[in-house]
């Protein structure tokens, strides 16, 4: 049973992949779910409000935030790409969001960070949120910035934040990497619910992952939040192995936790393949 502790909840990025998955689920967490994004969100359904806002537009975003009790921030660029869009959506956009939260007195934010903040750790390592950031691309750098900015807004203004370093959140795992990184949509909702309802959140970093037998991330430092995953990639293991080739252990995509992001955009790993 989900306890409603907020009247109005803002979901940014509501037209995106995870925003779409959360749209119905988050209605259990509030009386009014306010949806924000640049894309077409359709006609508001029962218990919904829709506000069109570009994250880079401070005035429009402030309007979206005003009157909310908490924010689930899923908006912005969600993949590696050119720096310009990442700058607008993930750096300027997250600054505008926290400024709006400060101005309007919103005291709790659930920030969709990413495992790509630590993507240059190896897949044979298990790390905690206390390990230093090792971003695997410009997208990971932007999420590390968001984590640091949210820390400052907590220390300086008391805005509590859960930084969710989301792994691979899809309907099911589709490759061998996801056997360790998969996060089901229902577990994503469970994690957000835990972060919205825990009495004291502070500034907390949590890896967004289901109860997979293989894992690179230790979430024990975030037990105060009370997130208990119920789904697992393990039931998909046989099908994944049958449908995917043997990994090339000399490939950086296989060696590092960031996976394919390491080879996206500007080639940043050629020196690793060359053995330099």
Active site residues: 139
Closest listed residue to residue 116, CA positions, set 81, 92, 94, 144: 144
Token code pair at residue 26: 């988050």
Report how far apart, in Å, the C-alpha atoms of 195 and of each of 52, 161, 192, 260 are.
26, 9, 5, 29
Other CB atoms within 10 A of residue 253 CB: 17
What span, in angstroms and rounded, lies between the C-alpha atoms of 233 and 173? 6
Closest listed residue to residue 146, CA positions, set 165, 119, 124, 126: 165
Report how far apart, in Å, the C-alpha atoms of 126 and of each of 213, 244, 256 are.
13, 24, 12
Q: Which residues does residue 12 pair with via DSSP β-bridges, in sequence order?
A: 73
**SS3 category, 139:** helix
Token code pair at residue 150: 């949210």
Closest listed residue to residue 16, CA positions, set 145, 93, 112: 112
What span, in angstroms and rounded, lies between the C-alpha atoms of 21 and 100? 25
Q: Are 8 and 16 within 8 A, CB to CB?
A: no
Q: Are 182 and 168 within 8 A, CB to CB?
A: yes
What span, in angstroms and rounded, lies between the C-alpha atoms of 91 and 140? 11
Report how far apart, in Å, the C-alpha atoms of 36 and of each of 93, 94, 161, 276 are.
13, 14, 19, 46
């Amino acid at each position: 049973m989900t306890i409603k502790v907020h009247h109005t909840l803002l979901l940014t990025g509501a037209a995106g992949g995870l925003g779409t998955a959360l749209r119905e689920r988050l209605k259990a967490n509030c009386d009014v779910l306010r949806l924000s994004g640049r894309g077409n969100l359709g006609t508001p359904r029962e218990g919904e409000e829709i506000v069109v806002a570009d994250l880079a537009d401070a005035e429009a975003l402030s309007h979206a935030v005003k009157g909310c009790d908490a924010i689930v921030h899923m908006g912005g660029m969600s993949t590696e790409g050119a720096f310009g869009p990442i700058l607008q959506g993930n750096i300027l956009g997250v600054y505008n969001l926290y400024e709006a939260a400060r101005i309007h007195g919103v005291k709790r934010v659930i920030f969709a960070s990413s495992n790509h903040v630590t993507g240059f750790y190896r897949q044979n390592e298990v790390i905690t949120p206390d390990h230093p950031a090792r971003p695997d691309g410009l997208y990971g750098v932007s999420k590390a910035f968001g984590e640091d900015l949210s820390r400052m807004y907590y220390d300086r203004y008391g805005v509590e934040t859960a930084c969710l370093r989301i792994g691979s959140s899809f309907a099911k795992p589709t490759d061998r990497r996801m056997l360790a990184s998969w996060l089901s949509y229902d577990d994503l909702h469970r994690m957000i619910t835990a972060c919205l309802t825990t009495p004291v959140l502070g500034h907390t970093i949590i890896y967004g992952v289901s109860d997979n037998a293989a894992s690179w991330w230790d979430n024990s430092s975030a037990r105060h939040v009370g997130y208990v995953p119920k789904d697992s990639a393990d039931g998909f293991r046989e099908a994944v192995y049958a449908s995917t080739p043997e990994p090339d252990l000399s490939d950086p995509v296989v060696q590092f936790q960031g996976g394919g992001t390491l080879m996206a955009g500007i080639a940043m790993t050629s020196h690793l393949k060359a053995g330099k």
